[in-house]
């Protein structure tokens, strides 16, 4: 009887082939697909905020929001997109010596920038759509509060939260690749992504929406005032900016995402299933 999924060893081989394909893909194709992936992640991030901004319990809020955010990876995986965090699995092709470190880094940079542009595009749309006025401006306030929290994490906390996040994201990608039908892919993606969101781990691409959205929302005095009602200080709102975004969150989270996806999933599974002398 034929099974309806690929084995872990088969998935490792598939990702080796995918890494070669991605590294050799035209830059413009990678870039456009990366913008699309950023758009999809940003939509899910905004949906996350909209779903939970009036829920008082943190646990319940994250549980609800996690169900919404799972849509991001589902859309990227099924509709098509290039997502930096998932592309950390390209390290398998590098370990197989099928691609060079230069081609890997070039692909990562192109996709990372495309993801950022896609997220910023949705930030612009949401800001001008009036959505931050939801619940008498509380959605705007919550967006500010979220950005403040993320941008004030210590480097170490952000780094380790990033490791755990992309360990689960790449696990979701790995399991989705094992599924041979769309229903299987949806189920494979749902639980690991839900788990990372409920746990409060940090995803670099999602933060490309969360923090810029909070920075711009903080410029609105009404939303800023309501954010202070939620416990955010005026000084924290003033400190929100490019520096706090890039150095306070994006740098450590990105590094953590690389370790989680490339080392804990990509490299270890390569070591088990593809490295010479290992069991197939």
pLDDT in tens, 131-186: 999 999 999 999 999 999 999 999 999 999 999 999 999 999 999 999 999 999 99
pLDDT digits (tens, 9 = 90+) for 82-120: 999 999 999 999 999 999 999 999 999 999 999 999 999
Q: Which two tokens stand for residue 117?
A: 């542009």
3-state secondary structure of 72: helix
Mean pLDDT of 13-41: 97
Residue 199's pLDDT band, with cuts at 50, 70 and 90, is very high
| Residue ranges of domains in the chain | 8-273
Residue entry with tokens 């099928």: 98
Query: For residue range 254-268, what is the model confidence (pLDDT) as tens digits?
Result: 999 999 999 999 999
Contacts of 3 (CB under 8 A, 6+ apart): none
pTM of the shown model: 0.95
pLDDT of residue 276: 75
227: helix, strand or coil: helix
Q: Domain 8-273 - what CATH class?
A: mainly alpha
How wide is the angle at C-alpha 267 spanned by C-alphas 185 and 111, nearest 5°? 65
- Residues 49 and 143: beta-carbon distance below 8 Å: yes
What is the enclosing helix (H) or strand (E) of 131?
Answer: none
């Amino acid at each position: 009887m034929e099974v309806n999924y690929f084995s872990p060893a088969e998935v490792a081989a598939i990702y080796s082939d995918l890494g070669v394909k991605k590294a050799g893909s035209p830059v413009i194709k990678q870039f456009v697909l990366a913008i699309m992936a950023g758009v999809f992640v940003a939509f899910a991030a905004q949906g996350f905020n909209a779903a939970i901004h009036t829920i008082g319990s943190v646990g319940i809020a994250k549980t609800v929001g996690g169900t919404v955010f799972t849509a991001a990876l589902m859309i990227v995986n099924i509709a098509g997109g290039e997502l930096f965090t998932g592309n950390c699995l390209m390290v398998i092709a590098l370990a197989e010596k099928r691609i060079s470190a230069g081609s890997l880094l070039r692909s990562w940079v192109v996709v990372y920038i495309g993801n950022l542009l896609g997220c910023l595009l949705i930030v612009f749309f949401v800001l001008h759509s009036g959505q931050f006025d939801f619940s008498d401006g509380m959605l705007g306030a919550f967006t500010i509060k979220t950005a403040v929290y993320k941008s004030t994490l210590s480097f170490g906390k952000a780094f380790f939260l990033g490791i755990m996040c992309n360990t689960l994201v790449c696990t979701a990608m790995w399991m989705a690749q094992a599924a041979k039908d769309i229903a299987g892919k949806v189920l494979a993606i749902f639980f690991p992504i839900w788990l990372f969101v409920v746990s409060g781990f940090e995803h670099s691409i999602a933060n490309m929406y969360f923090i810029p959205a909070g920075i711009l929302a903080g410029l609105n005095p009404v939303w800023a005032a309501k954010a202070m009602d939620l416990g955010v200080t005026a000084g924290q709102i003033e400190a929100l900016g490019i520096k706090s975004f890039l150095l306070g969150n994006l740098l450590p989270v990105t590094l953590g995402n690389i370790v989680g996806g490339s080392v804990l999933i990509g490299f270890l599974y390569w070591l088990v299933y593809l490295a010479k002398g290992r069991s197939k």
